Amino acid sequence: MKNAPTAYLITCAVIGVAGAVLLAPANWLSTAVFAAAPFAAVAIAGLWLLPAVIAMRLLQRPGAGLLVGLISGLVIMPFSGYGYMSIATNLWWAFFAELAFLLVGYQRWWTWLHYAGAAILGIVYPLLAWVSFDLGSLSTPALIGFFALTLASVLAATAIGILIADRLAKAGVARGVRPKRRWGVPAGDGPAGQH
């Protein structure tokens, strides 16, 4: 497609802005809930992964998740109360939507790679948020529950993102934007992977 780069950028922009519309209220909700019930804030953590998963699944291009994360962060920034940290936060979450694909050199677009990136995030996030959630003070069952809740949240968001992207692909969104695959290099294993 002659206008594929323009269509790609527009598609990323639309996904990024739609993600920001979802994440702006989620950000305020998470901040409010964190003060009273930190575990409840973790239950919605996967929402930050959702726009990047949709972009990666739908577009199957290196950097699509990060570009969508950047756009979402820029749109949210004036409304979040966190300023530029909103951009960094959205890029951080989007990185994990890209990670498994990066590790295979963006040569494979299998569904399980989406879940692998989410699973890594489900382990890394609690470790990096250890101090903010004071996880060291939790009992072992509560700590296991925290990790399980984080993992469930990011895996559920990944499943929803895959579903949305597959439905968009089936409806013809981004047709001609995804790069053509060479013979023998699988594009994917679901509707978003079909050309």
* Structure confidence by residue, pLDDT tens digits, 161-185: 999 999 999 998 888 787 765 434 4
Q: In the predicted model, what is the mean pLDDT of residues 28-36?
A: 78
In a domain, 182, yes or no: no
How many Cα atoms within 13 Å fall on the side-chain side of residue 139? 2
Is 42 within the bounds of a domain? yes
Give the integer Cα–Cα distance in Å for 78 and 45.
20
* Contact status, residue 98 vs residue 52, Cβ threshold 8 Å: yes
Q: What is the pLDDT of residues 96-147, one digit of tens each?
A: 999 999 999 999 999 999 999 999 999 999 999 888 778 888 889 988 988 9
- Whether the CB-CB separation of 26 and 34 falls below 8 Å is answered with no
**pTM value > 0.85:** yes
The pLDDT score that the predictor gives to residue 4 is: 64
Q: To the nearest 10°, report the CA torsion of 50, 99, 144, 129.
A: -80
Domain assignment present for residue 185? The answer is: no
- Residue 87 maps to a domain: yes
Which tokens in the block code for residue 138?
A: 């939790």
CATH number, domain with residue 146: 1.10.1760
Question: Does a structural domain hold residue 184?
Answer: no
Give the structural domain span for 123. 4-175
- Residue 181 within any structural domain of the chain: no
Say which residues have a Cβ less than 8 Å from residue 131's Cβ, sequence separation at least 6: none
Alpha-carbon Rg for the chain in angstroms: 17
For 75-96, how does the pLDDT look when each residue is reduced to its tens digit (9 = 90+)?
Answer: 999 888 788 999 999 999 999 9
Kindly compute the dihedral angle of the four CA atoms of residues 115, 117, 118, 119, in this order, to the nearest 10 degrees: 80
Does residue 84 sit within a domain?
yes
Is 195 domain-assigned?
Answer: no
Give the count of domains, the chain: 1
